Structures are given as C-alpha cells and as structure tokens.
Amino acid sequence: MGTPPTENDSSIQFSKRLDDDGILASMGSVGDSYDNALMQNFFSTYNNELMYRRSWRTRDEAENALFAYIDGWYNTERIQNRLGWRSPGEYEAPWHVRHDDHPAAPAAGPDPAAAR
C-alpha cells in the first residue's frame, strides 16, 4: 500500500483536473493578497448580514434563505459604491427604459395555449 497523497500532490492533481476541464482555479493571482479576496469578502458579508442573525430548522430552509439573500437582495437591491451608491436594479433601470419600447418579436412556432 502506497503513502497517501500529500497536500501538494492533491493540489497538483486538482489543478490538473481543473485545467483539463478548462476551469480557472482562482479568481486572483496565487500568492498575493488578492487571491480569493472577492469570495472571502462575499462570505464575510453574507455571514454578517444573514447567517449570524438567525437559525433554520432544516437545511432546505437555510438553502432557501441563502438563495433569497443572493438572488433576491444581494445581486439586485444592495447599494454599491461602484454604481454610484445605487442598487443594480436602479443602475440598470435607464437601460431598460431605453430598450423596453422595442419588444422582442414573438417566437415563431405554434402557440402552446392553443393546444388546450
């Protein structure tokens, strides 16, 4: 029986597997202060704003709360300095106003409601 892989061996194997599948291993450059900083900041924010403020009876309740936080508030309503202290929804609203007067053409094909 061989020796178990060391952390370095596992890391090399994992990096090769990611590379084989065309996946980038990190959002930052390895070994500097920016490595994974974006995700660490996000995890810190959602822990402080969501996870530490309440508890859930089931894993499903926790997953639903996390989804609602990310998709229902963090990505859409949270104000951001880079957007001029506006939420993404407020920032994108002028674009939607400019483009909503040109609705997309209806999809070709049979009307599914007509089959009822």
| pLDDT tens-digit map of 40-50 | 888 898 899 89
Quick one: pLDDT at residue 26? 63
Report the candidate in 42, 13, 12, 16 with the shortest Cα–Cα distance to residue 27: 42
Minimal CA–CA distance to 74: which of 50, 97, 58?
50
pLDDT over 70 percentage in the chain: 69
Tell me how far apart the alpha carbons of residues 53 and 45 are, in angstroms, rounded to a whole number. 12
Average pLDDT (7-19) is: 76
* Least confident segment among 22-31, 54-63, 71-80: 22-31
Q: How far apart are CA 29 and CA 93, in angstroms?
A: 34
pTM here? 0.48
* pLDDT for residue 10: 72
Measured CA to CA in angstroms, residue 17 lies from 10, 21, 30 at distances of 10, 6, 17
Please work out, in degrees rounded to the nearest 5, the angle formed at the alpha carbon of residue 75 by the alpha carbons of 70 and 79. 120
User: What is the C-alpha end-to-end distance of the chain, expressed in Å?
Assistant: 65
